[in-house]
Structure 1
Amino acid sequence: MTTAPPAPARRSDRLSDNPDLRNLFTAAAAAKLGAHLSYVAVPLVAIEVLGASAGEVGALAALAVAADLLFGLPAGAWVDRVRKRRLMVAADLARAALLLSVPVAWWLDALTIWQLFAAVFLAGLGTTVFEIAQQSLLPAIVDRDRLTGANGRLVALDSALTIGGRGVAGFVVALAGAPLAVLGNAIGYAWSALFVRRIGDEPAPARTRPRAADLTEGARHVWRHPALRALALSGAANNCAIQLFLTMLPLVWLDAGLSPAGLGVMLAVGGAGSLAGAAAARRLRARLGTGRSLWMIGAFAALPALCLPLTGIGMWTWAAGAAWALVGASVGVANVVGMSLRQQLTPDALLGRMNAAFRFAFMGAVALGASAAAVVGEFASPRAAIAVGAAGMAVQWTITFAARRSLTVPSGSLVE
């Protein structure tokens, strides 16, 4: 009499049951906490230490994501052919060294805007590689029918750290100066590398010969699938609009005589909204369906988003803060539901290239938004750039609304 082999262990989305997911989560916490510190501090280094103009602040924001435009698609093809864990460790260590150079140069009184540009651009390249690899590694350590829960935890983590990290960054900048806050980013990346190394080896990637078509295969997969195409277009539109707001926010805030600590709180408010959206995403998807959960929260935040240009105008700043929280909630829902749907609609062999195609679209839109902010901020005003971004946030949800019938989850791919 023979016995059936035991069923393979399920790779849970619970941190307590899945040590690899726990290590990935801890690494993400360390890296993202540092990144949120730097998110507030780097523009303030440019403005307060180096006296940067609105155009230079916009250029700095564009350079932070320019690597996605230049190297995003080749990085996706590369990620599909190598062990992702090792690549993530190398990217973490490179980013740590680059960010460490900023406070060291400041301490030596040798920091220039060109060094800041270079450090931000090259660290952005490391982030491109790291995040494509992380998104592609997740289905190897969590069952596909558990991806919504795992993505929800990672998005909630990012949102929680946006609240804490950016809020704390404002106070760190106020107390110790912006360059020392950038040091926290370097330390975060170093800690992240330690925990990524503890993740078990993933299955060996396919050893196929590289082809020129590999660079665009992920983009073709996204464009030809109506659901993926709608997710890419709506996310890109929202990213562009949000970046117009975020790029000019420090200038508007400081010009109004408000403190760096208050700027950190304003940014943290958006993180609070994103955390709430991520926490509610799974229930919203179960109650409303995938399509409606993606467009309805965006529609709900549309009119409040038009209050964002009131930032820094007396008590209207409170209304702008509330609007920013609602925009953050819509982003939290879209990140969890959209990311899970993307992973479920893509075969393993294309995950890296699919994620690279989305990152190319999303970060390209961020670069476009930052560049537009630099132009509008320089030739009109920073507040005018925020108004343009607010208008974009108010209408981007119409893209997923138009494609709502195609935004469905494959049968049996989710566990409620």
Structure 2
Amino acid sequence: MNGLTAAAAPAASRSRGRWGLLRDRDFRLLWVGETTSGFGSSLTSVALPLVAITALHATTLEVALLTAAAWVPWVIIGLPAGAWVDRLPRRPVMLTCDAVSFLLFLSIPVAAWQGVLTVGHLLAVALLTGTAKVFFQTSYQVYLPSIVVPADLPEGNAKLQGGESAVEVVGPGAAGLVAQVFGAVTALLADAASFVVSALCLLGIRAREAPVSRERRATTLRREIGEGLRFVARDPYLRVLTVFGAASNLGLMGYQAILVVFLVRDVGVGPGAVGGLMAVMSVGGLAGAASATWVSRRLGSARAMIVFEALGAPFGLLIPLAHRGPWLAVAVAGGFVLVTGVVAGNIIKAGFRQTYVPRHLLGRVSVSMQFVNYGTIPLGALLGGALGGTIGTRPSMWVVTAGLALTGLILLIGPLRHRRDLPASPDHP
């Protein structure tokens, strides 16, 4: 039964119909919890830099450091986290991460109301919640195959990514509106509350994971980390996707880390408008989630991924053209297409990894790839912040989006360009 418990196995038969997997109780709870948590995170993506800019008068580099701090934990503890997650039941790990994140985000408005909030406090919260996210996201990716069968993974990933994309449309606009009316600090309360919803939904899931074997618990952490790294290094598909992800994230985070500063200080829009503009760009995520599976079936999963990633990234070059008036719409359209390609590509890659990698290695392989992929995110944030403070925000946007536009060429290296579909299993042990 592919590692599923008896309670989880019927998901496949119940997933057919108009609503698909949403008819399955366990998947529906997972979807509701993580979509709500995603809404809170999308609020924070706008509210946290707005707090730093408007309440604490932070510099461009300090704002970029907030983004970098949230992703640094992937570099520091990403590899051992993957091995730990493969040894532990995932749901308790995720519940612990929800509780810790709730308390950390709650501390920001409390400190602001007491008049003691500082940029250092924001950096500490970003760093610690980023650490919790390492464990949560690694557990989450391995947990999904425990409640749905392999055949339903593409649909499950598409629905989860679609929910996340939907709230990323609403979240930035809501954050801008709340910041405009009540202050940016208040928007962070919603993110804290979202972790409570996530935890309650996880508690309601009935499916139980198979216990970790004694042999797994007896192996050393160093050996398990090495197994994950070696699997990625010798696999031609995972190797190319890992390098591409690292390069792509460098450019994506390079512009995202300074996007709010760019819109506020260079383009001259207010907090409410910032949220609205970012929300429109995020609508591309809905388009990507809706089209990923359909395009994959018609073009083939390998071809579809190349099309989405290689053709979507160059549209990011329209973002630095933003000025008041028609050019602002052109820039937003560029962001829309870019996000469409990124989200669709992520859905295809996630489904491929979850079916391609042996179940007992999935956590370690996933985090080995993320160690490289996410390791460039803080570098990209620091690059964007450093360039913004040196040559100006708009020139920096041009530099990082130009680099991003070229990253799709990496996917043409190796076997991907010769295939219609991604393989279902590796040809090496």
Q: TM-score, normalised to structure 2's length? A: 0.91
Query: Structure 1 residue 124: deviation in Å?
Result: 0.7
1:140-219 equivalences under 5 Å are 140-200=146-206, 201-207=208-214, 208=216, 209-211=218-220, 212-219=222-229
Q: Hey, what does 2:271 align to over in structure 1? A: 260
Q: Hey, what does 1:9 align to over in structure 2? A: 10
| Unpaired segments ≥5 residues, structure 2 | 1-8
| Unpaired segments ≥5 residues, structure 1 | 1-7
Q: Hey, what does 1:3 align to over in structure 2? A: none
Q: Hey, what does 1:365 align to over in structure 2? A: 376
What SS does the aligned partner of 2:210 have? coil
2:137 aligned to which of 131, 137, 152: 131
What SS does the aligned partner of 2:126 have? helix
Which AA in structure 2 matches 1:9? P
Query: Structure 1 residue 37: deviation in Å?
Result: 0.7
Asked if 1 retains the 8 angstrom alpha-carbon contact of 2:314 and 2:404, the reply is: no
Asked if 2 retains the 8 angstrom alpha-carbon contact of 1:86 and 1:197, the reply is: no
2:396 aligned to which of 385, 390, 415: 385
What SS does the aligned partner of 2:187 have? helix
Which AA in structure 2 matches 1:105? A
Change (3 A) 1:121 1:340: same
Query: Structure 1 residue 74: deviation in Å?
Result: 0.8
Asked if 2 retains the 8 angstrom alpha-carbon contact of 1:344 and 1:410, the reply is: no
Asked if 2 retains the 8 angstrom alpha-carbon contact of 1:252 and 1:311, the reply is: no
Match status 1:318 vs 2:318 = no
Once residues 16 and 252 of structure 1 are traced to their aligned partners in structure 2, the CA distance between those partners, rounded to angstroms, is 39
Q: Output one character per residue of 1:320-341: Cα deviation in whole Å (capped at 9) or x when no partner.
A: 1000000011012111111001
Which AA in structure 2 matches 1:53? T
Match status 1:242 vs 2:252 = yes
Query: Structure 1 residue 302: deviation in Å?
Result: 4.1
Q: Hey, what does 2:340 align to over in structure 1? A: 329
Change (3 A) 1:127 1:412: closer
Q: Which consecutive segments of 4 or more residues in structure 1 shift more than 6 A?
A: none
Asked if 2 retains the 8 angstrom alpha-carbon contact of 1:34 and 1:184, the reply is: yes
What SS does the aligned partner of 1:80 have? helix
Query: Structure 1 residue 102: deviation in Å?
Result: 0.3
1:339-358 equivalences under 5 Å are 339-358=350-369
Q: Hey, what does 1:223 align to over in structure 2? A: 233
Once residues 34 and 138 of structure 1 are traced to their aligned partners in structure 2, the CA distance between those partners, rounded to angstroms, is 21
Once residues 253 and 134 of structure 1 are traced to their aligned partners in structure 2, the CA distance between those partners, rounded to angstroms, is 33
Match status 1:286 vs 2:297 = yes
Q: TM-score, normalised to structure 1's length? A: 0.94
Change (3 A) 1:410 1:162: same
Q: Percent same amino acid at aligned positions?
A: 33
Match status 1:107 vs 2:113 = yes
Change (3 A) 1:77 1:318: same
Query: Structure 1 residue 314: deviation in Å?
Result: 3.9
Q: How many pairs does the alignment contain?
A: 406
What SS does the aligned partner of 1:213 have? helix
